[in-house]
């Protein structure tokens, strides 16, 4: 029977994986800050968009740092913390991609790592929901760029391919997570079976009137 996990009995592996995911987010946020503050003149940004890009990167960096604080203080709302973090990644990356040229900037591809990591961290739960949110954000950003910016309407095909990629990566992450969970549960069941078998053998040998003594080549008792 599969164990039912609640926020009170989640294994430490869930929280450890979430902390590793946050380290990736911190690295990503630091990269955006460096791009906006140091290499901003090399990005495909207009002069009036560079301060906005840098400000958005700083806000994203601060939210990632804040997530470490919540991760340390609150160990009872795993799903809420994961949803907040993945949702923050989707909003931040989509907005920064819009400022840097939309679909042409390829910044949206960074969400593939976030979706894969979120699927593995959550053991497959809500993975497709996160992919749907990322796809919706990509479509909204490009639509806004077409209506109010200089985005090309013909690039909706690329946006559609990106959205399908989001779902493909999310599905693979969900499948791998399910396989890992099944393997972990099988190993736990095998461990319990071995303990039961060992205990049964001990009880049988304790009550035997006769038995067999096994020694090795040096005369030491093996069993």
DSSP letters of 20-69?
A: HHHHHHHHHHHHHHHHHHTSGGGSS--TTTHHHHHHHHHHHHHHHHHHHH
Query: In this predicted model, what pLDDT tens digit does every residue of 87-122 receive, in sequence order?
Result: 999 999 999 888 877 787 788 888 888 888 888 877
Cα 167 to Cα 138: distance, rounded to the nearest angstrom? 13
pLDDT band at 7 (very low <50, low <70, confident <90, very high): very low
Higher pLDDT, 155 or 59: 59
In sequence order, the β-bridge partners of residue 221 are 215
Interior CA angle at 174 toward 169 and 180, to 5°?
Answer: 125
pLDDT band at 50 (very low <50, low <70, confident <90, very high): confident
Are 121 and 79 in contact, with CB atoms under 8 Å apart? Answer: no
Three-state secondary-structure class, residue 180 = helix
- The Cα-based distances of 60 to 9, 19, 215 in angstroms read 31, 17, 67
Interior CA angle at 117 toward 19 and 10, to 5°?
Answer: 55
Q: What is the pLDDT of residue 61?
A: 94
Q: Where are the alpha helices (DSSP H) in 43-155?
A: 50-73, 78-99, 110-121, 127-148
């Amino acid at each position: 029977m599969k164990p039912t996990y609640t926020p009170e009995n989640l294994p430490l592996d869930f929280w450890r994986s979430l902390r590793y995911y946050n380290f990736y987010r911190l690295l990503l946020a630091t990269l955006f800050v460096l791009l906006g503050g140091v290499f901003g003149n090399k990005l495909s940004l207009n002069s009036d968009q560079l301060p906005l890009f840098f400000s958005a990167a700083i806000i994203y960096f601060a939210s990632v740092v804040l997530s470490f604080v919540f991760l340390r203080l609150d160990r009872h709302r795993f799903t809420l913390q994961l949803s907040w973090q993945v949702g923050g990644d989707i909003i931040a990356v989509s907005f920064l991609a819009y400022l840097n040229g939309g679909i042409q900037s390829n910044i949206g591809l960074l969400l593939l790592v976030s979706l894969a990591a979120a699927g593995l961290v959550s053991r497959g739960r809500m993975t497709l929901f996160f992919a749907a949110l990322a796809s919706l954000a990509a479509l909204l950003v490009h639509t806004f760029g077409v209506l109010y910016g200089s985005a090309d309407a013909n690039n909706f095909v690329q946006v559609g391919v990106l959205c399908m990629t989001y779902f493909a990566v999310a599905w693979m992450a969900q499948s791998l997570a399910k396989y890992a969970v099944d393997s972990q549960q099988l190993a736990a069941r095998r461990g319990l079976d071995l303990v039961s078998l060992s205990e049964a053998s001990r009880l049988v040998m304790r009550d035997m009137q006769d038995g067999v003594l096994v020694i090795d080549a040096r005369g030491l008792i093996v069993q």
